[in-house]
Structure 1
């Protein structure tokens, strides 16, 4: 806290050449030296350098608004000064009190707010000049004018002053009256990025990546976000310039390691940014490949010549290749194929080892995932038992507490028995031992990934099972929203003012909510909340490319969205210019006789025309594009002539939309 006080023997304002004594009151219990400085219109001069004297004499020579400043420092101090005090002082004669009051709409403002001032006076007309004091310097923001009001945007925080000078219209003085008012600009709440995350589950090449930033700030402020993508080789690309959108999406076409830099700032902040955060992520060509199961359709041992189907179930990858290698007395190798199944016909009895190799087509190595199983071919085997079908009454989505009915169709053997096992994370939850029933019912009580194993064997078989099949079941607490179709009028040409209605056909309609984001020429102009309405209607007010991003999610869903579609519609200002034609005011063409050619067309908006004339085989531009649709031509020689008219709408940037040619001969 500054405990130095300064005062003058004469109160402000005073006339030029007045003898003014500047006094210091030191209540501090320490020895100080003082430096006296005078400031006017941003220029400072030293009245007296550091001295022990607690007063100094000042005789001003010019009128003006002054700042008297005293810097004090300890006698043996190392700082340039330890204390500072200031006061305002005006030199100049005030002949009459013209300003009765200066009204401000508010005394406390935030950065970016408008300060609105109204000056009340005792008479009119008068001239007004306005100054703002910021950080000990006066800055003129409006020179003398007849307006007694001012609207000014505050750009820095702290205590500020506004000075209004006033004078009569015919006055030769710098001012005849003045008044100073104080106001305060409050600092903005510090903006802090609290979270920066990727909303996309799998960060893969050629798929849309969505990132979102959460920040802490005053809720009544407008915050802007800017995103830069930085590749591993240091290349920087701006993927979104400063915008109110805190979510950014783009498609990355090349795998590799990347960084995403987010810069956030208040709309009215003078800083380049108020906070920033970096997110590291890796874009992969495809999801990692896993072999979920590798089984045969019939259990061993089997007879020679039996056709055994090898079945592979995998996840990950983009375009998978499968290779099946059989090691034994009669080896076999399928080579890499796109099929996830392979039929092997055994040719010799014995013990076999079957290997499955899986890789993506783009992978250069031998394999990315591998699995093995053993198999026995026995000449003494009985007629094989096969599972023909496993029927389940549920499709892709199974909900908690819903019945799952499973039925098995099998062939072979003498008297078949069936067993069912339910597992979750390799732990056995439920089991039906072998019985004659080829069907079962299961009710899942919680979300998760379940595995159903169906086992079939002959009543007289001594094996654990003769054949089996595994089915993976995903159980959810809700059905994720799915947009089946997006319907909108199938028109070749949309015009400004047309009513465009977009209808979404979704499954589980009652439990699905939608959000619509409208972009015009890559600028977001409207974003709805999640609503139950499945129809979005808008009327374009100007031409451009309109894109509607449609998000759908189940009302019970916890993710940002379950499904996304987009519709892009090109809206034109008017119909294209067509059917351009030329008419003439005369049927006879004679030398030195003027003839008027008039252009007509259909469609377009504010159509412009450009005229060319062909003389002696050369085309000449005779009238540039304008709304003037006629041209007067005087032929001076007998010859064959042609008139070319180009036409286009005024708003259209193309060279032309339509044209026509008129030929005539001068006799």
Structure 2
């Protein structure tokens, strides 16, 4: 054997004053010196410093739970010690066997499990005291009481031991009998963060940013996650405290560079965290600004005095500003404005350059994007051609296969002709040549983005068109589901056992299916498939926050959902405690005479009460929360007194729900 072991001449337990010889068995085939130590309740005494002797005599002076330790080192070694060996030893022998057995529900546990201990005895009644050995110290976890059972959460890994001391009720001894049982606590598998990402595609100011973390851990374990936002100056803010939610979201109010720190831990872990990960991200004020289109409603050349509308179509930005500059013989400058169009009435013929500049309101430069158009104005000769409007038969979403009809109203000229161009996703697929017919219709057979360009010119015009108009149309395979209203009982208090019915009012009801996800106190407890039913009902069985996420989609939709709404209600075990009042069985209050105060209240469930007394200017807690709704008090001085009672439902997390104060004077 290649080890160092120790044993004693007398087996544990022994009575105090016993002569115990501690022996060392050196199986290491090395020349060693030894240091002998005895520990009790965290205090260590040295019996003999490093010596070559392989035994030492120990005479304990008092009862207790001891740890015997021998340190050994090589004679020529540089370390404080090279080997160590320990053993437990109990001083204090029982005169009577009271404990017949100690039973634990499981001697192989994982960190954070509960250990349940039951003590069986040979007589009744008895008192019991419980100790647990943690590393090299015995710690009392429950003082003497009549309880022969104990539940304890194991908080450290390795070999553990529970010691039960027992004595008769009238015994003056520290204990009359004792017995111990060992158990093993296994470490948890480390929680490792395997993925940490942002689910939001555009990270913008004042928009919700959503992050998701994934981790590797033992199946069946509960893992908690905590998220901190850290700005560029290192200031940290908690976004989500420890919870089982792997997805965290918040609205960032200020652009800049940030980091998100995620801490992950097993719910029973003794560490502050088991793993952590950091995600760097940048929040922009807005999406970059692009000029998609800069057009005029009339093609050039045009005549003097004609009102020409300049139209801008922009992508990006948050609060976009537009500036229109006309450069030529008669220049104009609109200055920056919020209007995406500008009406220019030409006053002088010539060649002009039309300039569009755009920027966000927060941008301090001259512009972020710029676009140019050339334009020609002729001498005024006849009334200009102008499109007054294009009327569509569809004012909402358009489904593929439906007929789209458009009617053009135009004015000016001598004999107006109308032409139409239809484009899909920017590619022309239909051209209707000029005619006197101002009506057009077509049937889109595929979904996508369409443009209907209407061109109008005078019969005698030499130009391709005198004015034009472009209308964008979105053609869909189906009409996305929309939840207009959620109807549910408008009540101040929802109680356990009340049926809660949610009615979803949707558009295009027959083609809409809905999925319901019920969460209670942040935990998902029910999730339906997509069903045609528009009514969802549930009966809460216990108090808490009930949230129903409602996902709606068209039956033809290939997306996860088209529309999402939610309902959140608080469910209470009972109505709040109200109308609390203190009554007394005495009309007069005399010194040294007991007086009993009784509390009456309404509402609540399993109501508990806590009493305070104001005496000599100080409030003192005299009875902690319990079901006992009365308190007996003896005033010993002639003085003014006040009694305060706080009350609440037993399982309420609030400090109290109602209270009452009664003042009295003792004579």
| TM-score, length basis structure 2 | 0.70
Worse-superposed segment, 205-214 or 493-502: 493-502
How far is the alpha carbon of 1:184 from its aligned partner?
1.8
How far is the alpha carbon of 1:154 from its aligned partner?
1.7
Taking the aligned partners of 2:471 and 2:23, their CA distance within structure 1 comes to 95
Deviations 1:80-103 (A, max 9, x none): 333322222233334344322211
Change (3 A) 1:573 1:107: closer
Q: Does 1:157 align with 2:161?
A: no
How far is the alpha carbon of 1:104 from its aligned partner?
0.7
Counterpart residue number, 1:422: 424
Contact 1:551 1:561 in 2 (8 A): no
Taking the aligned partners of 1:554 and 1:29, their CA distance within structure 2 comes to 79
Deviations 1:154-195 (A, max 9, x none): 222221111122334455544343322111222233223444
SS at match of 1:11: coil
How far is the alpha carbon of 1:499 from its aligned partner?
6.6
Counterpart residue number, 1:82: 82
Counterpart residue number, 1:584: none
Counterpart residue number, 1:67: 67
Contact 1:35 1:51 in 2 (8 A): yes
Contact 2:577 2:658 in 1 (8 A): no
Counterpart residue number, 1:389: 390
Contact 1:495 1:543 in 2 (8 A): no
Write out aligned runs for 1:350-365 (5 A).
350-365=350-365
Counterpart residue number, 1:636: none
Taking the aligned partners of 2:480 and 2:128, their CA distance within structure 1 comes to 67
Taking the aligned partners of 1:149 and 1:263, their CA distance within structure 2 comes to 37
How far is the alpha carbon of 1:149 from its aligned partner?
1.5
Write out aligned runs for 1:431-446 (5 A).
431-432=429-430, 438-444=440-446
Contact 2:119 2:148 in 1 (8 A): yes
Counterpart residue number, 1:552: 551
Q: How many residues align?
A: 571
SS at match of 2:269: coil
Contact 1:516 1:536 in 2 (8 A): no
Contact 1:387 1:456 in 2 (8 A): no
Counterpart residue number, 2:597: none
Contact 2:196 2:279 in 1 (8 A): yes
Worse-superposed segment, 405-414 or 133-142: 405-414
Counterpart residue number, 2:127: 127
Write out aligned runs for 1:221-300 (5 A).
221-300=221-300
Taking the aligned partners of 2:269 and 2:518, their CA distance within structure 1 comes to 28
Counterpart residue number, 1:101: 101
Contact 2:104 2:115 in 1 (8 A): yes
Change (3 A) 1:253 1:451: same
SS at match of 1:494: coil
Counterpart residue number, 2:368: 368
Worse-superposed segment, 101-110 or 479-488: 479-488
Q: Does 1:22 align with 2:27?
A: no
Taking the aligned partners of 2:128 and 2:267, their CA distance within structure 1 comes to 31
Q: RMSD of the TM alignment (CA)?
A: 4.7
How far is the alpha carbon of 1:107 from its aligned partner?
1.5
Counterpart residue number, 2:514: 513
Counterpart residue number, 1:618: none
Taking the aligned partners of 1:67 and 1:155, their CA distance within structure 2 comes to 21
Deviations 1:404-444 (A, max 9, x none): 755555568776554433336xxx5x634565795444444
Worse-superposed segment, 81-90 or 551-560: 551-560
Worse-superposed segment, 262-271 or 138-147: 262-271
Counterpart residue number, 1:600: none
| TM-score, length basis structure 1 | 0.70
Change (3 A) 1:186 1:300: same
Deviations 1:243-273 (A, max 9, x none): 4444444444444444444444333333333
How far is the alpha carbon of 1:379 from its aligned partner?
5.4
Contact 2:397 2:479 in 1 (8 A): no
Taking the aligned partners of 2:185 and 2:41, their CA distance within structure 1 comes to 22
